[in-house]
Amino acid sequence: MSTITVPSEIPPVSDDVEQLRKALEGWGTNEGLIIEILAHRTAEQRKLIRLIYTQTYNEDLLKALDKELTRDFEKIVLLWTLDPAERDASLANEAINKGAKYNQVLVEIACTRYEGDEVDLSLAKKEAKLLHDKVMEKCYNDDDFIRIITTRSKAQITATLNSYKDEFGQEINKDLKADPNDEFLKLLRATIKSLTYPAKYYEKVLRLAINRQGTDENALTRVVATRAEFDMKSIKEEYKKRASISLDQAIAKDTRGDYEDMLLALIGTTEA
């Protein structure tokens, strides 16, 4: 469930555009006004704001923001303002350029678009056995193994993995910890967790980003920008269970200034 708050009465898009222009002009940027508008508009509303801004001022809003904002605040505002598909493309491009260390980002993007509702329980049981056989043989890169994990809908893969647990006594991710430091197995586990327990997956990403020595702003920014409009409420609930502190409090403790304000505006400050 989304955590962004949208006013019950939205001003005309032309007013939002005019206010954003004022926030970006002059001697000092009005970061608070930028947050007040962009953090409280839906993806469709932000897309329209960007379109009308370009038509009105003959300049892409993203370029205008890029010229005036800096550092982590700039990154989250730009990511948030992008259309979701553009955002995924931007994150994917960045991950590819940074190398294998960022393959997890590609997994997150791929799993976000992995939908479907129909379930074949007979197929689930059959493929659960196939997965188990390959795991026992340590054939993790087997074509059939990869095909099942990467081509089945969320509903179907969930049924398959539930069957795996019922038939063989434990979750597949536990069996995939034969070598905890193997990068390929890490990606497999991340893929499975992101598909089947997304709130738990992203909670862990956030917890590691915030609890490490020195906040991982890239991971924090990415998760908030990509999940605030989707399932951040569930992620916040999982975070509080695991960290014994609300995500709001953790972010307020580890971040400062406009970056902190934008993050808190997107995740909401009222705990479920």
Residue 23 sits in a domain whose CATH number is: 1.10.220.10
Report the phi/psi class of residue 102: left, alpha or beta, with left for phi > 0 and alpha for psi in -120 to 50. Answer: alpha
The reply to whether 221 falls in a domain is: no
Is 257 annotated to bind a ligand? Reply is no
Q: Please, which residues have CB within 8 angstroms of residue 246's CB and are 6 or more apart in sequence?
A: 236, 239, 240, 271
Q: Assess whether pLDDT exceeds 50 at residue 162.
A: yes
The reply to whether 259 falls in a domain is: no
d(CA 253, CA 251): 5
Query: Which residue among 84, 101, 134 closes a domain?
Result: 84
Is 54 annotated to bind a ligand? Reply is no
The reply to whether 116 falls in a domain is: no
d(CA 52, CA 50): 6
pLDDT of residue 115: 65
Q: Assess whether pLDDT exceeds 90 at residue 102.
A: no
Is 68 annotated to bind a ligand? Reply is yes
pLDDT of residue 63: 96
Residue whose token pair is 């007040």? 36
Q: Which domain holds residue 64?
A: 13-84
Q: Assess whether pLDDT exceeds 80 at residue 57.
A: yes
The pTM is what? 0.89
The reply to whether 2 falls in a domain is: no
User: Which of residues 56 and 244 earns the better pLDDT score?
Assistant: 56
The reply to whether 169 falls in a domain is: yes
Q: Assess whether pLDDT exceeds 70 at residue 272.
A: no
The reply to whether 4 falls in a domain is: no
Structure tokens, 136: 């026992």
Is 212 annotated to bind a ligand? Reply is yes
What is the pLDDT confidence band of residue 271, given thresholds at 50, 70 and 90?
A: very low
The answer to whether residues 69 and 17 belong to one domain is: yes
Share of the chain above pLDDT 90, in %: 76
What is the pLDDT confidence band of residue 43, given thresholds at 50, 70 and 90?
A: very high
pLDDT of residue 239: 95
Number of domains in the chain: 2
The reply to whether 19 falls in a domain is: yes
Is 214 annotated to bind a ligand? Reply is yes
The reply to whether 188 falls in a domain is: yes
Query: Which residue among 162, 196, 230 closes a domain?
Result: 196
Is 144 annotated to bind a ligand? Reply is no
Is 252 annotated to bind a ligand? Reply is yes
Query: Which residue among 84, 99, 134 closes a domain?
Result: 84
Is 255 annotated to bind a ligand? Reply is yes
